[in-house]
Structure 1
Amino acid sequence: MPEPTPKPRDALDWNGVLAEQLEWHWNHHLRRRFEGLTDEEYLWEPVRGCWSVRPRGTHGPEADGAVQLGAGPFVLDYADPEPVPAPVTTIAWRIAHLVVGVFGQRNASHFGGPAMDYAGHRYAGTAAEALDQLEEAHARWRDGVADLGAEGLLRRCGPAEGPYAEASLAELVVHINREAIHHGAEICLLRDLYAHTGHHGAR
């Protein structure tokens, strides 16, 4: 049987390839693993000193330089630079990071999304609200990437990306997809630990 003739590079739908990199994982793995997330799981702290999302005024971990950021009734534990070793973070923290730092800031810079930063975001106090925020941020990213076209992928990122200003949007898409898959897998692992450890956490 003859081998298939490979397509020339310029005949590939690179927008489709990059979209599928994340979308297959999101639709066939992550989304179903996010289903049924409870508020208790969302805020579960598996070890002492976790970073999380907390009601404003609630005491967080005493890490060097740690602050609490947020514009609403819930705040995010945060430090820049982060402590060494980096703290373990809850599902709530990881979803917030995806919403703000992974998708949200890039949606604002490149796809017409609302202004987004860690200090100004209104963090979700419940799992359902957090997942709604995540789905909205992901959908804007997905649609924005799909609309770039071949020429858009070659456009440089610009000053919004700081030291990566001269990188192409294609390189940014690969990076953000990788970040989303990585942090999504961390959330899945925390759900597994929650289910298999009798919910034992910080003491």
Structure 2
Amino acid sequence: MTRSERLAEQLDWYWHKNLRPRLDGLTDEEYFWEPVRDCWSIRPRDTSAGAKPSGPGEWTMDSESPAPVPAPVTTIAWRLAHITVSCLGYRVGWYFGGQDVDARTFTYAGTADEALKQLDEMYGSWNAGVRALSDAALDAPPTAGPERFPMENRILHVNRELIHHGAEISLLRDLYLRKN
């Protein structure tokens, strides 16, 4: 197994054994569920809870710049969009020649099914791109994007981000199932 295949396998194992199965059956009610007041989410245009919502379509992502301290609790919808756009989408475009993804121009999903399709597509592009990297490419900084660390470092960062946010989404699903 090559280094790039080992890096891809680390996340792919988590994806297939933990995260993606936990997303099966996600309903729109869960997708938008707000466990506390003042959550950030994906919302119909002109109903944002953030001062600077992102997205050109009928659905926007709550956001502000700079982000408030403490940061708002976010819904499954917001977290899935964050993984799809910020964790994977930007980097698929920068590093692997995929579609240029930007939080301000991304068309956010108004249903759980649509969000999962977006996530699956972006994850597939990320995983294929990582697997295709040579050892020399892993040692060098990416040729595009703002990051100047070795590509291997960027891949490990994305792996950590997906594992971290995937665990948050899984916890929200557990809480949703047990809400009063």
With the shorter chain as reference, the TM-score category is over 0.9
Alignment of 1:196 with 2:161, yes or no, is: no
Which secondary structure does the structure 1 equivalent of 2:109 belong to? coil
Aligned residue number for residue 163 of structure 2: 181
Q: Distance in 2 between matches of 1:38 and 1:159?
A: 37
State how far apart, in whole Å, the 1-side matches of 2:65 and 2:45 are: 20
Normalising by structure 1, what TM-score?
A: 0.85
Residue in 1 aligned with 2:24? 35
The reply to whether residue 71 of structure 1 matches residue 56 of structure 2 is yes
Q: CA deviation at 1:79?
A: 1.4
- How far did residue 37 of structure 1 move? 0.1
Note closer, same or farther for the CA distance 1:159–1:95 as it changes in structure 2 (3 Å cut): same
Post-superposition Cα deviations, 1:63-120, rounded to whole Å, max 9, x if no partner, equal: xxx3111011000001122111010000000000011100000000011111111110
> Which runs of at least 4 in structure 1 moved beyond 6 Å after TM superposition?
none
Aligned to 2:131: 146
The one of 147, 150, 170 aligned to 1:168:
150
Measured in 2, the distance between the counterparts of 1:13 and 1:47 equals: 45
What TM-score comes out, normalization by structure 2 length?
0.96
How do residues 73-88 of structure 1 correspond to structure 2 at under 5 angstroms? 73-88=58-73
- Write the deviation string for residues 2-54 of structure 1: whole angstroms up to 9, x where unpaired: xxxxxxxxxx7211221111011000111110000000000001001100000
Counterparts in 2 of 1:14-29, with a 5 A limit?
Answer: 14-29=3-18
For the Cα contact (< 8 Å) 2:48–2:62, is it kept in 1?
A: no
Larger Rg: 1
Instruction: Name the CA distance, whole Å, in 1 between partners of 2:27 and 2:144.
Output: 39
| Secondary structure of the structure 1 residue equivalent to 2:145 | helix
In 1, distance between residues paired with 2:84 and 2:127?
13
Q: Secondary structure in 2 aligned to 1:78?
A: coil
Count of residue correspondences: 180
**Aligned CA-pair RMSD:** 1.2
What is the CA deviation profile of residues 177-203 of structure 1, one whole-angstrom value per residue up to 9, with x for unaligned ones?
1101110111000000000113xxxxx
2:38 corresponds to 1:56: no
**Identity of paired residues, percent?**
49
- Deviation (angstroms), 1:59: 4.4
